[in-house]
Amino acid sequence: MESINTAHLHLLLNHVPTVGLAAGLGLLVLALIRKNDDLLRASCEVLFAIALLTLPVYLTGSAAEQAIEDMDGVAVPAIKAHELAALWAFVAMQFTGLAAWVALWQSRRAPRPPRKSVGVVLLLSVLTMAMMARAATIGGEIRHPEINPEAIAVGVPTGWFTPANIAHVTTTYPWVWPAAECLHFLGLALTFGILLAINLRILGMMKGLSFAALHRLLPWGILGLAMNLVTGMMFFIAASTQYTDNVAFFWKVLFLGIAGAHFLYLTVLDTTWTLKAGENAGMFQKAVAAVAIASWVGVIYWGRMLPFIGNAF
């Protein structure tokens, strides 16, 4: 019996973005109809969580492509079309998740979620849902070309925003990869530095500050995370086999998912938000802070180990 591989993981996860986004969008529409702010926040939390889960779905898709592209009965043009559609859907989902997080962050500092932010989340969710549905439809035609015989005749996708063009720019121009590396490390330093300060406060240091004061720094941490995501995806698209064949990369993604979920925890949990100057956090909050710091250390460690563990570079 074969052990589970990355292609299997993609099959297990590939419905999560579509079904999860539909659930989040449904909650958002219901919240607007009922004018329920708590339900509105819950929908934004779901959308941010789905944006996080979309990352491993996209990354494992590359390994799934490598595993089946030489099989009989597989429509290779459909694979390329699915790859492009998935890239657009992935980017749209990240923007949706970012907008949802901004609405959640703003709702902490206002009586209710700002309507403009909610409108942006709704618009992005609808557009992303259409892109996700298209990517899912094309994906279903890869092993079943009889569904759409025209998929076999589709040519290689062209345009400025395609995986092939991103890989070409990243690897051809000698300054692009080093510049992206610099931005990647700057983003990591920004995110880790801010979250380290916040979590150290929860652990009992800097008691003169309230959590609400440090909460203002979270958008800078999200900015650093976005820098990491953009540059990291450039590296992955340019040389995906160096990552999909490297066990260190999957450990990094796992710890990154835990660390990303911690952003949501810091944004929405009432027990942390009520921590005033001079007060001590509870044991559970301290345990979560310790796990968050350890997760970011894991991200840094496994990222640094990419050239040394797995022999992919």
**pLDDT in the model for residue 231:** 93
82 & 228 share domain:
no
Give the integer Cα–Cα distance in Å for 187 and 189: 5
**pLDDT in the model for residue 152:** 47
98 & 230 share domain:
no
Phi-psi map region of 35: left, alpha, beta (phi>0 left; psi -120 to 50 alpha): left
141 & 1 share domain:
yes
Could you tell me the residue range of the domain that residue 183 belongs to?
A: 158-313
Residue where a domain stops, chosen among 123, 155, 187: 155
What does pLDDT average to in each consecutive run of 10 residues of the chain (313 residues)? 61 83 93 90 92 87 66 66 85 94 86 85 94 82 57 55 84 90 92 91 85 87 92 87 82 89 85 81 88 92 83 55
**pLDDT in the model for residue 1:** 40
Check: CB of residue 10 under 8 Å from CB of residue 61.
yes
106 & 207 share domain:
no
- Sole residue written with tokens 């970011």: 296
- Split into its structural domains, the chain has a count of 2
143 & 287 share domain:
no
Give the integer Cα–Cα distance in Å for 166 and 168: 5
**pLDDT in the model for residue 66:** 65
**pLDDT in the model for residue 58:** 85
